[in-house]
Amino acid sequence: MTSSDLTINVDSVSQWFGDVQALTNLNIQVPKGSITTLLGPNGAGKTTAIRMITGALEPGQGTVRVFGLDPASSDGEEVRRRCGVFSAKPSLYDRLDGWDNLRYAAEIYGLGRNADKRIADAASTFGIDAALDKQVGGYSTGMKTRLALARAILHEPDLLLLDEPTSGLDPESAVSVLSLIRDMTSGGRTVLLCTHLLLEAEGLADEIVIMEHGTSLVAGKPNDLASHFWPAPQVSIGTTGGDHLVLLDTAAGVLSVSIDGDRAMLEVEDITIVPELVKTLVSAGAAITTVSPFVPNLEDLYFAVRKGRESDDQPPPPVTASTGGQRRSRVAAAAAPTTRRTGQESR
Amino acid sequence: MNWNQAFTVARTDLKQLIQAKDFWVPMVILGSLFFCVVPLILLTLITQIGSVEVIGQISGALEALPASAQDQIQGDTPEAQTGYALAVFLFAPVAVIVPLTISTAVGAATIVGEREKGTGEFLAHSPAGAREIYVGKLIASLVPGYFTTAVGFAVYSLIVNLTVGPQVGGWFFPTAQWWLMILWVLPPFLAICLSLVLRLSATVKSTAAAQQASGLVALPLIMIAYSQSTGVLFGAGYMPIIVGAVAWMIALFSLNRGVRSVTRERLLGVAST
């Protein structure tokens, strides 16, 4: 990917606040027209990264380019004019009504005569238009979030920077906001979404960057990252009482087995051998209760990355399924006996 | 300089101030007290009731005025002369104390307030420049003080002319020195004060700290402005113009330096100093 394909290119950026190092050699590449999600726990440096991107903060070390421009230079105004920012705190004027809050942003962004229509459209998009004449201090948290989101898109920015956009929203509103975020990229707009909620990013992110302690641990497309951490197919097989699961350990094509009670998580060379494995168990007298492929979700990926980081970058074994292969218990996984063989041995 | 952005920042701050009754009601009371209530009571006491004791005391004090000031006093009776001197000379500090107090109170909260409420985050990410934000905040702090003074000055003029005017041969107020003070001398003192207060507001950690520190800064400035404005009213010739010109130069220098105090880091509250 060339730099011209990127809307944001954060290259080896470090930042200190006094003695505290907030960012350490941070790298983030955000392709044009994509939704990129910054995932990380509180204090990972996501908000500081956004502040660097708009030029609100100047990096201590490294370079930041947005639309090919340096936001910390005199180009900063141009960058900020093309960015729409939703901060973790809605940052609204409580004494003013909703309309005045949006009008203020419209004038700061120089919308001029189009302002009224844009304000009405943006408010309508987030369903806050009926409350625009009310003082913001009387808004609920959800209403404030919607108003702040409307403000972020008011000037039709090329780049949307959203810091925890669904915090404080009820589940229904959160789903609706995430759907709107997806719609926004259809016009070629780029979105950078910061969140610590894995479900929020699930299915939305084209690219993910997992951050911790001010640095990026991994970055890439979710499927590519999943392939990296789980190169072989995974399957969960359950039997009544866990009888005969040990047979799988010596079965052909099985790379590793992790048994936890009445379930086994297998890493196999090819998913097509699963019927044969089931047949082996049934022949031995086992009563099969579940057979489920393990499809790693973002939560699995996130914890795998963090666990890998803790154990010197070694990816952990897949975790054990608890129900139907989709939800897994990490406690059980940690306790489960695991045998791992090389591909050669298994043949 | 993008004046649209600066005026937008100022207008938004002023709108919020209008909504904040708990702030402007005491300020209106302060202005009313200094510009209306106290002058009305004193001038009525002297010109209408003719309290011999009060007139005697004030007449004695008038003898201490400079010759240039004594020459300006109009009126044929002791009541008229005392009323004139009170109206023109002794209430001069009112025109200084009220705007400086109000503007200091507004200015102290303006930048640190953005940070405390979290709205500084919006400004920091916006295309508004630091200079535009600073000028906007300056206007928003200056307007309430100066507006109160302008209204108070108009009301005060009316009271003075109605109570003292009939005894000195008609409407006489504002005098040329008062015009000079209100239009030429007061604004730069207000600007000097606000340049310091805004700098404090940008650097301190909380509104409470800003109010405390601004009070300390404003007090000596009020005393200087008080003495200078009194001198302007007493003085003759070019004195008021010179005092105003010097104050303007200091004000412009101080404001120019003050612009640097507004940074995006400070709006976000992450600046080290």
SS3 A322: strand
Cβ distance A104 to B8 less than 8 Å, yes or no, reads yes
Do residues A82 and A133 share a domain? Answer: yes
Do residues A101 and A152 share a domain? Answer: yes
Tally of structural domains, chain A: 2
Contacts of B119 in chain A (CB under 8 A): 91-93
Q: State which of A190, A208, A227 marks the end of a domain.
A: A227
Integer Cα distance of B170 and B10 in angstroms: 41
Structural contact between residues B267 and B123, judged by C-beta atoms closer than 8 angstroms:
yes
Determine which of A163-177, A199-213, B44-58, B97-111 has the lowest per-residue pLDDT on average.
B44-58
pLDDT tens-place string over residues B159-189: 888 888 888 888 888 888 788 888 888 888 8
Do residues A254 and A204 share a domain? Answer: no
| Helix H or strand E encompassing A16 | strand A6-17
Do residues A132 and A265 share a domain? Answer: no
Assess whether pLDDT exceeds 80 at residue B239.
no
Assess whether pLDDT exceeds 70 at residue A336.
no
pLDDT tens-place string over residues A262-302: 898 888 888 889 999 999 888 888 889 999 888 777 778 87
Assess whether pLDDT exceeds 60 at residue A341.
no
Cβ distance A77 to B15 less than 8 Å, yes or no, reads no
pLDDT: is B174 or A59 the higher one? A59
Assess whether pLDDT exceeds 90 at residue A227.
no
SS3 A192: strand
| Helix H or strand E encompassing B2 | none
Do residues A214 and A236 share a domain? Answer: no
Contacts of B121 in chain A (CB under 8 A): 85, 87, 89, 91
Do residues A84 and A176 share a domain? Answer: yes
Contacts of B117 (CB under 8 A, 6+ apart): A91, A93, A94
Integer Cα distance of B100 and B225 in angstroms: 9
Given pLDDT bands bounded at 50, 70 and 90, which one contains residue A139? very high
Single pTM value for the model? 0.80
Integer Cα distance of A281 and A272 in angstroms: 16
Q: What ipTM is given for this predicted complex?
A: 0.81
pLDDT tens-place string over residues B27-49: 888 888 888 888 888 888 777 76
Assess whether pLDDT exceeds 80 at residue A34.
yes
pLDDT at B251 (0 to 100) = 92
pLDDT at A222 (0 to 100) = 80
Determine, yes or no, domain membership for B172: yes
Structural contact between residues A329 and A320, judged by C-beta atoms closer than 8 angstroms:
yes
Largest CA distance in chain B: 67
Nearest CA in chain A to B12: A104
pLDDT at B210 (0 to 100) = 86
Nearest CA in chain B to A22: B270
For A159, half-sphere exposure in the C-beta direction (CA atoms, 13 angstrom radius) is: 25
Assess whether pLDDT exceeds 90 at residue B224.
no
Query: With an 8 Å Cβ cutoff, is B125 touching chain A?
Result: yes
Integer Cα distance of A66 and A78 in angstroms: 10
| Helix H or strand E encompassing A101 | helix A98-108
Contacts of A91 in chain B (CB under 8 A): 117-122
Integer Cα distance of A193 and A201 in angstroms: 8
> Helical H runs in B76-185?
78-85, 92-117, 120-125, 130-163, 176-180
Question: Both tokens of residue A122?
Answer: 């943006």
Q: State the CB neighbour count (10 A cutoff) for residue A167.
A: 16
Tally of structural domains, chain B: 1
pLDDT at B232 (0 to 100) = 63
Give the domain range for residue A278. Answer: 231-346
Contacts of A18 in chain B (CB under 8 A): 272
Please give, rounded to a whole number of angstroms, the shortest distance from the CA of B260 to a CA of chain A: 15
The phi, psi pair for A194, rounded to 5°, reads -100, 135
Please give, rounded to a whole number of angstroms, the shortest distance from the CA of B105 to a CA of chain A: 18
Q: From A126, A75, A70, A132, select the one nearest A100 (Cα to Cα).
A: A132
pLDDT at A61 (0 to 100) = 92
Determine, yes or no, domain membership for B33: yes
Structural contact between residues A196 and A41, judged by C-beta atoms closer than 8 angstroms:
yes
Given pLDDT bands bounded at 50, 70 and 90, which one contains residue A323? very low
